[in-house]
C-alpha cells in the first residue's frame, strides 16, 4: 500500500495527524501566525521550473543542491531548492500523492533529507485545482494529477511529513467558478494546522489580483502568467517576455513588503537566450522591485558570466535590503526608464534602464529624486565598479541597448530622501 513511501514518512504523518487534531480547532485563529517572521526579505533559491523542467530525478536534485552549496550561491542567500511540477504520478490507496517511483525511489522525504543535509530548504509543488499544469507527454497527454483541491489537509500533512519548507501552489485544473483567494486561504489554514512553518508561494498568475490580498495568505504571489525566455514577447496563452514582466512589476511594486512579495516569476538569467546586458537588466529590476530571486537555470551548465550576475553581492544587497520597501519606476519615456529605491541606511539605489535597441545617453536629475539640484551626491555604479565623486545636478551615462547602469548613491544627511510619487 505504501510501497513508494518510507516507514519514517508514515510514522511522521501519523504523529502530525494527531498534532493536527489538537491544532485544528485553533487553526482559524492562528492561521496568520504560522507565517510570522518568514520572508522578511524576498525569498531566494533555485527551482526546477524552466531550466530542467521535468527532466530531473533524485540524483539531479542532489547535484543541484551540491551546486547551490559549493558555488557559494547558498551563502549569498539562495537557500531554497524548489521542486516544481512533474514530481508525482498520482495518489495511493490512502489518497496521498505518490512521487514517481522510478525517479525518486526513496520518495520525496529522502530528497528533502539530502537538501536539508546541505543546509538548504526544500520546496514542493502542487495546485489549488485538481491538476498541475504540465501535460503527461509520454502517455495520456492529460495534465499531471498533482492537484490539492479537496485534499488540502492530507496534502499539507504529507508535505510537512516529507520536510517541506515551501509549497508553490499553482492554479491549473481549477473549476471555472473557483475563487482563488479562498482556495489559497484553505491551503494556508491546512499548512498552519500542521504546525510546521511552510511558506506558501501563490501561483494564480495574477488573475485574482493577489497583490491586494496575498499578504497574510502567502509569502509571495505571482503577478502575471509565466515569464517566457525572451526579451520582449507575448503568447496566445498569456505568457510574457522579460520587459513585459518589468511593466507588471512597475504597476504593483508598492504592494510588496516584509512577509509578502510580488513574484514576477523565476529569473531567466543563465538560460541561454538573454544577452549579458539583458541578464544584468533582469537582475537589476528584480533588485529594485524587491522580487523573489529564484534561479531557473541549469546549475550544471550555466556559463560563468551568468553565474557572476546572479552572485553580484551589492545587487543582492539591494534586493534583500532590510527596510523591505520596494523601489518604483519614476519614469518610462520612449525606452528610457528610471527606477529608484530607498534603502534602510538612507542610501538610494538608482537604476537607468535603456529599453531601446541602440546605445543611448541616459540621465538622472536629482530633482527626479525629490532632491534639490544643488545636493552633492556620490557613490558607485555597481556593474562596472566605477566610483562616483559627489556631484550636483545629476548623472549622465552611456547605456548599452537593453542595458542598465545601477547606482548606489549616498545622499547627505541634511537632504530629504526620495518620496515615492505613488
Ligand atoms: C504553470 C506555472 C509555472 C510552472 C508550470 C509547471 O505554468 O505558472 O510557474 O509551475 O505551471 O507546469
Give the three-state DSSP class for 333: strand
Residue 87 CB less than 6 A away from ligand 1: no
Which ranges of 79-223 would DSSP assign to H, the alpha helix? 107-117, 152-162, 180-194
What pLDDT tens digit does each residue of the chain (422 aa) get? Answer: 334 445 545 455 455 444 444 444 444 444 445 666 899 999 999 999 999 999 999 999 999 999 999 999 999 999 999 999 999 999 999 999 999 999 999 999 999 999 999 999 999 999 999 999 998 867 778 898 899 999 999 999 999 999 999 999 999 999 999 999 999 999 999 999 999 999 999 999 999 999 999 999 999 999 999 999 999 999 999 999 999 999 999 999 999 999 999 999 999 999 999 999 999 999 999 999 999 999 999 999 999 999 999 999 999 999 999 999 999 999 999 999 999 999 999 999 999 999 999 999 999 999 999 999 999 999 999 999 999 999 999 999 999 999 999 999 999 977 665 555 43
The answer to whether the CB of 82 falls within 8 A of the CB of 265 is no
- Contact partners, residue 130, CB within 8 Å, separation at least 6: 145, 147, 149, 150, 173, 174
Instruction: Give, to the nearest 10 degrees, the angle between helix 242-252 and helix 276-288.
Output: 10
Check residue 338 and give left, alpha or beta (phi > 0: left; psi -120 to 50: alpha): beta
Beta bridge partners of 44: 293
Residue 147 CB less than 6 A away from ligand 1: no
Task: Give pLDDT, residue 20.
Answer: 46
Task: Choose one of 85, 166, 238 to mutate for the ligand 1 pocket test, by most ligand atoms within 8 angstroms of C-beta.
Answer: 85
The 10 Å CB-count burial string (b at 16+, else e) for 385-417 is eeebeeeeebbebebbebbbbbbbbbbeeebee
Residue 226 CB less than 6 A away from ligand 1: yes
How many other C-beta atoms lie within 10 A of the C-beta of residue 270?
Answer: 24
Which residues belong to the active site? Answer: 170, 226
Question: What cell does 367 get?
Answer: 530633482
CA 180/CA 183 separation, integer angstroms: 5
CA 291/CA 366 separation, integer angstroms: 26
Rounded to 5 degrees, φ, ψ at 97 are -60, 140
Rounded to the nearest whole angstrom, what is the distance from the C-alpha of residue 127 to the centroid of ligand 1?
Answer: 10
> How many Å separate Cα 354 from the centre of its chain?
24
- Contact partners, residue 298, CB within 8 Å, separation at least 6: 51, 52, 270
Q: Whose CA is nearest to atom 8 of ligand 1?
A: 226
The answer to whether the CB of 201 falls within 8 A of the CB of 220 is yes
Rounded to 5 degrees, φ, ψ at 254 are -65, -15
C-alpha distance from residue 29 to each of 26, 186, 188, 189, 196 (Å): 5, 13, 12, 10, 16
Give the three-state DSSP class for 62: helix
C-alpha distance from residue 366 to each of 360, 376, 381 (Å): 20, 9, 16
Task: Give pLDDT, residue 23.
Answer: 44
The answer to whether the CB of 69 falls within 8 A of the CB of 116 is no
Question: What cell does 308 get?
Answer: 557572476
Rounded to the nearest whole angstrom, what is the distance from the C-alpha of residue 318 to the centroid of ligand 1?
Answer: 27
Residue 132 CB less than 6 A away from ligand 1: yes
Residue 154 CB less than 6 A away from ligand 1: no
Task: Give pLDDT, residue 141.
Answer: 83
CA 298/CA 401 separation, integer angstroms: 26
CA 18/CA 24 separation, integer angstroms: 10
Q: Is the dihedral of CA 225, 229, 230, 235 positive or negative?
A: negative
Amino acid at each position: 500500500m505504501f510501497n513508494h513511501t518510507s516507514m519514517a514518512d508514515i510514522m511522521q504523518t501519523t504523529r502530525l495527524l494527531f498534532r493536527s487534531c489538537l491544532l485544528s480547532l485553533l487553526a482559524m485563529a492562528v492561521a496568520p501566525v504560522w507565517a510570522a517572521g518568514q520572508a522578511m526579505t524576498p525569498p531566494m533559491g533555485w527551482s526546477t521550473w524552466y531550466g530542467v523542467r521535468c527532466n530531473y530525478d533524485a540524483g539531479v536534485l542532489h547535484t543541484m543542491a551540491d551546486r547551490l552549496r559549493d558555488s557559494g550561491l547558498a551563502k549569498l542567500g539562495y537557500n531554497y531548492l524548489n521542486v516544481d511540477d512533474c514530481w508525482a504520478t498520482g495518489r495511493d490507496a490512502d489518497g496521498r500523492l505518490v512521487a514517481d517511483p522510478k525517479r525518486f525511489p526513496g520518495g520525496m522525504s529522502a530528497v528533502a533529507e539530502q537538501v536539508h543535509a546541505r543546509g538548504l530548504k526544500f520546496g514542493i509543488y502542487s495546485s489549488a485545482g485538481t491538476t498541475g499544469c504540465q501535460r503527461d507527454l509520454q502517455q495520456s497527454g492529460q495534465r499531471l494529477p498533482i492537484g490539492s483541491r479537496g485534499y488540502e489537509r492530507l496534502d499539507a500533512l504529507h508535505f510537512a511529513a516529507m520536510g517541506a519548507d515551501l509549497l508553490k501552489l499553482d492554479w491549473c485544473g481549477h473549476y471555472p467558478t473557483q475563487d482563488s483567494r479562498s482556495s489559497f486561504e484553505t491551503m494556508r489554514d491546512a499548512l498552519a494546522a500542521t504546525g510546521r512553518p511552510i511558506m506558501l508561494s501563490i501561483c494564480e498568475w495574477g488573475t485574482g489580483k493577489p497583490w491586494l490580498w496575498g499578504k497574510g495568505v502567502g509569502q509571495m504571489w505571482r503577478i502575471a502568467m509565466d515569464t517566457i525566455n525572451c526579451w520582449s514577447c507575448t503568447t496566445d496563452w498569456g505568457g510574457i517576455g522579460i520587459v513585459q514582466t518589468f511593466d507588471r512589476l512597475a504597476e504593483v511594486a508598492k504592494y510588496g513588503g516584509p512577509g509578502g512579495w510580488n513574484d514576477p516569476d523565476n529569473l531567466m538569467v543563465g538560460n541561454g537566450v538573454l544577452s549579458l546586458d539583458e541578464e544584468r537588466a533582469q537582475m537589476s529590476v528584480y533588485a529594485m522591485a524587491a522580487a523573489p530571486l529564484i534561479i531557473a537555470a541549469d546549475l550544471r551548465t550555466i556559463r560563468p558570466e551568468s553565474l557572476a550576475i546572479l552572485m553580484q553581492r551589492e545587487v543582492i544587497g539591494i534586493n534583500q535590503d532590510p527596510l523591505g520597501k520596494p523601489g518604483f519606476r519614476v519614469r518610462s519615456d520612449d525606452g528610457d526608464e528610471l527606477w529608484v529605491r530607498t534603502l534602510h541606511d538612507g542610501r538610494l539605489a538608482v537604476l537607468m534602464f535603456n529599453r531601446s535597441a541602440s546605445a543611448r545617453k541616459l540621465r538622472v536629475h536629482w530633482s527626479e529624486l525629490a532632491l534639490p539640484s544643488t545636493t552633492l551626491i556620490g557613490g558607485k555604479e555597481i556593474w562596472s565598479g566605477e566610483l562616483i565623486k559627489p556631484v550636483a545636478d545629476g548623472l549622465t551615462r552611456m547605456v548599452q541597448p537593453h542595458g542598465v547602469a545601477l547606482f548606489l548613491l549616498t545622499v547627505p544627511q541634511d537632504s530629504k530622501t526620495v518620496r515615492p510619487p505613488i
